[in-house]
Structure 1
Amino acid sequence: MQLRVTFVAAARSSSLLAERFEDDRPLDQAGWDEVQHAAGELLPLAAAELRYCSPTPRSRATGDALGYAPLVQLALRDCDMGRWRGLTLAEAMAREPSAVDAWLADPRSTPHGGESLISFISRVGGWLETRPADDGGRIVAVAEPSVIRAALVYVLKAPPASYWNIDVRPLSMTTVTGRAGRWNLRFDGAAAQRSRT
């Protein structure tokens, strides 16, 4: 059976300019407002047979606010950033510029003492590969943008460095279809959505 996994990026918890590594802050008012504004488009995903989320407060709150009642998946947690947890990229760069440069240049490096980009992508891909096809064909997963970027790199079998070139906006939807070992990225335009209703 072919699966359809739709990732929904969690609403924001802070200014996008102040995004922090492993940000565990709850949704701010702007995030709640964004969820309410996007609810009309995102609510139909609650009909998915399986509904999951990252363990962050904002992912859980986004899923709950959309009526998904998602099951937390530890495999969908953000990349373990070790001692950089809670810092912005600029703060980490100010403290350890050569370590940040090494981390950005080499997807196997772990100068922060946490998880490498390669390990992070593999973990998220492993979660995707083990989705149970016999429990239903439609899955929704509310996740941090970084998790969705990792999933896309995995699905497309893209070089790990391409992770840095994927922009995932709050409350955006990204759908992949297929089954273990064979995934495709799917684009549904607004016209396609209207023609099905």
Structure 2
Amino acid sequence: MALRVTFVAAARSSPLLAERFDDERPLDQAGWNEALRAAGDLLPLAAAELRYCSPTPRSRATGDAIGCAPLSQLALRACDMGRWRGLTLGEAMAREPAAVDAWLADPRSAPHGGESLLGFITRVGGWLDTRPGEDGDRIVAVAEPSVIRAALVYALKAPPGTYWNLDVRPLSTTTVTGRAGRWSLRFEGTPDQGATRPAFRGGNPL
């Protein structure tokens, strides 16, 4: 037996608003309504033995909307983007194009003065590896999509650059099973049941 950790991607605010680094905006009414619509499908997750969330307003609100009442975890915060915090990728590129190129190319670099991609992945992976629980216990974590991407890279022991090719959609679920250092990606359901499948695409930095 093994632990079962299901990540739920936080609902987002209006799709008309550009994604920003370290986005601390709360859910707007559209995002809240979207989370409530998904609550019926996600309600079984509220029975998990342990329930956590990223320390962002929209992660907390998403967890509350689906009935999880999650405990905030500092280790599940988004990557510290230093002086780029609050900027879109385009804005950061316009200000510091060479620094952005270096950041995208080297997972150990942190030209913004914050946290490197490798450091971010390692920090989230450390949280995953230290989850308490008995064999068969279920754990739920409502987190920002970027945090879930980092967790998947760590769990699969994939190269850090794989992070850029993972696309985690709002309110999607992703489950890993195992123990510290030995995690597997779990596929659940059938296509006609709306099974969650990992999606891949390149060039998405958030």
The verdict on a shared fold, with TM-score over 0.5 as the criterion, is yes
Q: Answer yes or no: is the 8 Å Cα contact 1:50–1:136 preserved in 2.
A: no
Paired AA for residue 77 in structure 2: R
| Alpha-carbon offset, residue 133 of structure 1 | 2.4
The equivalent of 1:121 in structure 2 is 121
Take 1:129 and 1:9, find their aligned partners in 2: how far apart are those partners? 19
Take 2:191 and 2:169, find their aligned partners in 1: how far apart are those partners? 21
Flag the structure with higher helix content.
1
| Alpha-carbon offset, residue 181 of structure 1 | 1.2
1:55 to 2:87 alignment: no
TM-score (norm 2): 0.90
Q: Answer yes or no: is the 8 Å Cα contact 1:49–1:136 preserved in 2.
A: no
**Any stretches of 5+ residues in structure 1 without a counterpart?**
none
The equivalent of 1:76 in structure 2 is 76
The equivalent of 1:43 in structure 2 is 43
Q: Answer yes or no: is the 8 Å Cα contact 2:3–2:135 preserved in 1.
A: no
* 1:27 partner SS: coil
Please report the RMSD computed on the Cα atoms of aligned residues, expressed in angstroms.
1.7
Percent same amino acid among aligned pairs? 82
Take 1:151 and 1:15, find their aligned partners in 2: how far apart are those partners? 24
Between 1:92-101 and 1:27-36, the stretch displaced more is: 27-36
Shift of the 104–186 alpha-carbon distance from structure 1 to 2, 3 Å rule, reads same
* 1:90 partner SS: helix
**Any stretches of 5+ residues in structure 2 without a counterpart?**
195-206
* 1:133 partner SS: coil
1:29 to 2:29 alignment: yes
Q: Answer yes or no: is the 8 Å Cα contact 2:3–2:134 preserved in 1.
A: no
TM-score (norm 1): 0.94
